[in-house]
Amino acid sequence: MRSLLLLSVLLLAGLAAANDSFAPDRHFSLIDPARLDPAAAERAYARVVDDMAARFATSGEPAAKVYRRWLRTNRRPYLSATHGSRYVNNYVNRPARVYGTLEPGEAMPVGSIIAKDAVSVDSSGAVLPGALALMEKMEAGYDSVARDWRYVLILPDGSIFADSSGANPAGTGYCVDCHATAGDDADHLFLMPPGVARSPHAAP
Ligand code: HEC
């Protein structure tokens, strides 16, 4: 009896740990990220991005198939602490090009999509593909709590982990909660850290 109890406690602990790995700061986290200079980050990204994007494309999400043809708003991949100490990029479709120049109080137009891909580089120099995170501005009334943003997370194997409009919508709850802390005035966007943005005038 006692061993049965112990077993169920262990099982529960195991389940809790498994769930926990999907918690916001854990799910994305990398224990020992390498600190790369911008050129090295770009080289690391270049090594894996084609294969990585090919897998995202198998998700069936239309944006995942085309995002690399969009404007990349950052010059080089930059380290994102919140998105798991990974080197990230933001790509924007045409309606979302105001992303780089959004002023407080302005909102992104309906139809805007921001795609954030990511790679991680560990201290041994190994480059691993990260996830693809998407935000899409839907029609007014889609989700007032989320300021009508649809959130999607596609895992490196091309499976959809969560989609506000599809599989596991509840799995986007932590996206909504954290992005809401950016504030309504910023349209729930954190924008890019200083210094990484490509000049808005560089947009073709
Ligand atoms: C713990 C807080 C946190 C969580 C959880 C989080 N994000 Fe973010 N997100 C940020 C921050 C901070 C930035 C800006 C820095 C950066 O680029 O990583 C950002 C940037 C983004 C951007 C670029 C648009 C912007 O805000 O400037 C997208 C797209 C995005 N996140 C999607 C997602 C999706 C999809 C999820 C859920 C799967 C998610 N995020 C979960 C904090 C978070």
In angstroms, what is the span from residue 2 Cα to ligand 1's centroid? 45
Q: Which of the residue ranges 47-56, 123-132, 137-146 would you say has the lowest mean pLDDT?
A: 123-132
Burial bucket for residue 51 (CB in 10 Å: 0-12, 13-18, 19+): exposed
Q: Compute the mean pLDDT over every residue in the chain, rounded to the nearest whole number.
A: 83
Terminal CA-to-CA distance of the chain, rounded, Å? 70
CA distances from 54 to 60, 62, 75, 87 (A): 11, 12, 22, 19
Specify the pLDDT at position 96. Answer: 97
Q: What is the whole-number distance in angstroms between the Cα of residue 11 and the centre of ligand 1?
A: 32
- Nearest atom of ligand 1 to the alpha carbon of 153: 38
pLDDT of residue 32: 61
More confident residue, 32 or 61: 61
Which atom of ligand 1 is closest in space to residue 114's alpha carbon? 29
Distance (Å) from CA 50 to ligand 1 centroid: 22
pLDDT of residue 81 exceeding 80, the answer is no
Nearest to 170 by CA among 17, 19, 11, 1: 19
How far, rounded to the nearest angstrom, does the alpha carbon of residue 190 sit from its chain's CA centroid? 12
As a whole number of angstroms, the distance between CA 68 and CA 85 comes to 22
Judge if the beta carbon of residue 188 lies within 6 A of ligand 1: no
What's the CA gap between 58 and 32, in Å, rounded?
29
| Ligand 1 center to 10 CA (angstroms) | 34
C-beta of 86 in contact with ligand 1 (< 6 A): no
pLDDT of residue 159: 97
- Tens digit of pLDDT for each residue in 102-116? 999 999 999 999 999
Rounded CA separation 80/97 (Å): 21
- Specify the ligand 1 atom closest to the Cα of 188: 26
Q: How many angstroms separate the CA atoms of 178 and 198, rounded?
A: 25
Q: Ligand 1: which residue has its CA nearest to atom 14? A: 190
Query: Which pLDDT score, from 0 to 100, does residue 193 have?
Result: 80
pLDDT more than 70, % of the chain: 79
Q: Give the pLDDT score at 199.
A: 56
